[in-house]
Amino acid sequence: MTDDASAPGEPAEQVFFADPALDRAFGVVMALATELQVLRDRVAALERQLERAGQLDRQALDAEPSAEELAQSKQDREAFVRHLMSPLLGRQASRGGAS
């Protein structure tokens, strides 16, 4: 199983899905997942260092956010969701591109 879209001289990656686009898209997903775990690991290491230095209140960090805190983060959260999900609407962001 090969994907003949690779450049000359470069071996084509094996293809497992009916549409090779899915093979490649899932590669992006796994790369992002790896990056996410690297980030989670780093945040946890930062928290441990801060806690050892007496500069982090873990109980406060882990507590459910107050209504005030949730309200403060609402704008950022909704902007993130809009950014994440607006491609699902299938709309052009500029005029004139043939669809």
Partner 1 sequence: MNPLAQASAAPAHGMADAAPDRAFAAAQAFLVSAKSFWTTEMFPALRGEYENARDPLATATPESVAATLADSTLYRYFAWAERHLQKMKYSGRYGLVAWQGAHRQSLEATLTAPVALDASLDLPRYYVSVDIHQHPGGVWRDTLAGFVYERGARSTTPLAAGRHADLHQRFAALVADTLEARSVLDLGCGFGKSTRPFCTVFPQARIEGIDLAAPCLKLAARMSADAGLGNARFRQADAARTACRPGEFDLVTSTMLLHELPPPAIRQVLEESARVLAPGGWMFHLDFLPAVQPRGDAFARFIHYGHARRNNEPFMQPLAQLDLPAQLRALGFEQIEVLPFAEADGVLAPDYPHWRFPWTVIRARKAVPSDERATP
Contact residues for partner 1, defined by CB under 8 A: 14, 16-17, 23, 26-27, 30-31, 33-34, 37-38, 40-42, 45-46, 49-50, 52-53, 55
> Using CB atoms within 10 A of its CB, is residue 50 exposed (0-12), middle (13-18) or buried (19+)?
middle
Rounded to the nearest whole angstrom, what is the least distance from the CB of residue 82 to partner 1 in the complex? Answer: 26
Rounded to the nearest whole angstrom, what is the least distance from the CB of residue 73 to partner 1 in the complex? Answer: 24
DSSP helix, strand, coil percent of the chain (3-state; round to 5): 60, 0, 40
DSSP assignment string, 10-24: SPPPP--SSSHHHHH
Minimum CB distance to partner 1 smaller for 35 or for 78: 35
Rounded to the nearest whole angstrom, what is the least distance from the CB of residue 89 to partner 1 in the complex? Answer: 27
